[in-house]
Amino acid sequence: MTANFTSWGRPFTDAKMDMYGGDITQRYQLGAQQLAATSDNFTEGVQKTQQPIVTGTSVIGLKYKDGIMLAADNLASYGSLARFKDIQRLYGVGDNTVIGAAGDMSDFQHVQHELESLFIDEYCNDDGHTLGPAQIYEYLSTLMYHRRSQLNPLWNAFVVGGVDPKSGESTLAYVDLLGTTYSAKTIGTGYASMIAIPLLRRLVEDREEPPNEEEALEIIKTCMKVLFYRDARSLNKFQVAKITKSGADISPSMSVETEWGFAEGIRGYGAQTQ
């Protein structure tokens, strides 16, 4: 039984007309509708994200000798339309942390605002403490799992990379909309988790010594080229973030040379029909 008395019904169901000659069942239904109506005209316009709309694709990351290197292209797709081609999906958090975002771009903007508020609160404490990459990773994992538990997830997958300025310890970790978390020497989201991870593991994890900065950059470029070849939602325009103990730097957009001559012999390419 609910608290709404108009939904309880009449004790005498055989009498539909009341003493005033009106149809009491209609009056009860009208009363129920009036109680159910809200006074806020904007409530129906406030909805939870049901699916990603404007999305970014893969983010890759690796550990190298001096720190962490991340990369993500500048494309945000509206469904299958390559709509926005100058979106920065690498975001600096503090001085020694960068996060890369795949998934819905509006949810990514919300996370940026949450991180800004977090750092403002931390600054106002004025206790000399700063948030490092490990703390940012823990915060994002808690935030994503909380939103998932509320059945209102943030439709993103994040790669968190950074180096602690005091201890010099590097952090490369992953967190997604389900609250799934892990850390590794190489990480990829989306299509990169299937295409780029085998390359990264062979070129980075199978080495006896970690790559230096120049070698790491070449590995990143190789992976981004393969992703551009294979991923229909990618773009040959990407940024690379380098995070070391001295700070983080996000490069201007760059591209790699590609070769499409081999496609002439592929059935279905261009004007071919046979």
Which position among 2, 13, 38, 49 bears the catalytic label? 49
From its phi and psi, is residue 94 left (phi > 0), alpha (psi between -120 and 50) or beta?
Answer: left
Task: State the DSSP string of 70-97.
Answer: EEEES-EEETTEEEES----EEEETTTE
**CA pair distance 111, 158, nearest whole angstrom:** 10
Distance of CA 101 to the CA centre of its chain: 5
For this structure, is 142 an active site residue? Answer: no
* Lookup: tokens for 142: 């808690």
**CA pair distance 77, 81, nearest whole angstrom:** 5
Alpha-carbon dihedral sign for residues 166, 169, 174, 178: negative
Distance of CA 199 to the CA centre of its chain: 23
Active site residues: 49
